[in-house]
């Protein structure tokens, strides 16, 4: 035999995969991801505990009157007024969801499938404006309808995005006009 053939026969190919090490790394990664999600969940629950002094938002009354405006879109959450990153999670106000908004003389009704509905009486409304961001959501300038309202002694900003963003300006005008009329009557 020639020396080249003997050399080729003598070589052993290297192990391509070290399966025990690879499985160990994979298990470690899965455990790390589970730990991160668990810590995030605990942080969310802790934030809710810290905000437990906040009263529960009222439900809609039996009779609210005819609808002035309706909006179908998304509810992006609530924050402390003026602090767009300080999310309110108590009473389900931090849960993003689809939403149906109905504005009547009695107030603003927010119906959320899969999350708790709430109602903002006209007397609790403080203002409406267009914004670009609220905790967890950043949109183009003016892409978010933000309604400021009072819950107990705390002012809250709630962010909504209509399926048809062109509706936002009408909502801002109508809400602010309604609030000014209510304040003028007091």
Assign residue 101 the CATH number of its domain: 2.30.29.30
d(CA 68, CA 143): 22
Q: What is the DSSP letter of 16?
A: S
Q: Is pLDDT above 60 for 2?
A: no
Domain that holds residue 39: 20-50
Do 114 and 164 belong to one domain?
yes
pLDDT digits (tens, 9 = 90+) for 150-176: 998 999 999 999 998 888 999 999 999
89 and 141 part of one domain: yes
Same domain, 84 and 132: yes
pLDDT in tens, 34-80: 999 999 999 989 988 888 889 988 887 888 788 899 999 999 999 99
Closest CA to 160 of 124, 108, 122: 108
Q: Say yes or no: 33 and 92 in one domain.
A: no
For 151, phi then psi, to 5°, come to -125, 105
Instruction: Report how many domains make up the chain.
Output: 2
Alpha helices, H only, the chain: 3-10, 19-50, 168-185
Q: Do both 176 and 116 map to the same domain?
A: yes
């Amino acid at each position: 035999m020639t020396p080249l053939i003997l050399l080729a026969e003598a070589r052993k190919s290297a192990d391509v995969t070290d399966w025990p090490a690879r499985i160990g790394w994979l298990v470690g990664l899965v455990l790390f991801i589970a730990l991160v999600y668990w810590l995030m969940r605990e942080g969310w629950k802790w934030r809710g505990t810290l905000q437990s002094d906040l009263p529960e938002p009222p439900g809609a009354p039996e009779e609210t009157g005819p609808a002035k405006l309706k909006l179908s879109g998304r509810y992006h959450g609530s924050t402390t007024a003026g602090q767009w990153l300080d999310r309110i999670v108590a009473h389900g106000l931090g849960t993003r969801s689809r939403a149906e908004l109905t504005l009547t003389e009695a107030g603003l009704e927010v119906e959320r499938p899969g999350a708790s509905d709430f109602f903002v009486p006209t007397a609790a409304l403080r203002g409406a404006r267009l914004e670009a961001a609220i905790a967890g959501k950043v949109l183009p300038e003016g892409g978010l309808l933000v309604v400021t309202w009072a819950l107990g002694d705390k002012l809250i900003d709630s962010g909504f995005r209509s399926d048809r963003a062109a509706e936002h300006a009408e909502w801002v005008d109508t809400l602010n006009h309604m609030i000014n009329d209510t304040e003028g009557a007091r």
